[in-house]
Amino acid sequence: MAMIFAVVPIIDASALPISSRYQSIRVHGGICSVGSVGDEDGLNRRPYAEWSDARKGGVSWSKKLDIPELFYEGRATHCLRQRGSLFVLLQLDTYSQRSMSQDVLHLVKLRVSDGLIESDTEVLVPGVSGAYSAWVEEDPSSFREKQGEIVIVGKYRHRDTDEEDISFCVSLKM
């Protein structure tokens, strides 16, 4: 089943105080909004996802997503729906200082009906070792479904080098 999505205007209703909304995407039967919520200074952001059901109208649930214990902050940047699940891409930072931080990708699977987290998987760049930062641009084609897999297209850079950004593509089973 092909995923159909389109960027839609930001919706007004929200149960969370949103620091940054990265995308609101119309996906089968509703709107998935992703972004980050932070403290009063806008620091120490945490990823969030929100589901608005097209049939019921309004926000069905909003959820601040946890990040691994040793990480500093993160944001949810992309969303897909497959049957009864939403797949949300998290981009997490290990430290507050950019010069020391690594950007790490995680894929979280949420149940559409109530936002329950069904799985959380670190997305590893194939064939890359050592300390590196990976990221995915906002373009919806960078996070898409293809033949039953999630395709993630992004860039990475080894942390302690002056190399150019290197493109990568990884496919994960849904």
How far is residue 157's CA from residue 112's CA, in Å, rounded to a whole number? 34
**Beta sheet of 5-7, edge-to-edge order:** 5-7, 20-27, 30-37, 46-53, 59-64
Give all domains of the chain, ordered by start, each with its CATH number. Answer: 5-173 (2.40.128)
Higher pLDDT, 130 or 162: 130
- CB of 47 closer than 8 Å to CB of 16: no
pLDDT at 142 (0 to 100): 95
Confidence of residue 49 (pLDDT cuts 50, 70, 90): very high
SS3 142: helix
How far is residue 55's CA from residue 30's CA, in Å, rounded to a whole number? 8
Confidence of residue 17 (pLDDT cuts 50, 70, 90): low
Name, in order, each residue with C-beta under 8 angstroms of 125's C-beta and a sequence gap of 6 or more.
Answer: 132, 134, 154, 156, 168, 170
Confidence of residue 163 (pLDDT cuts 50, 70, 90): confident
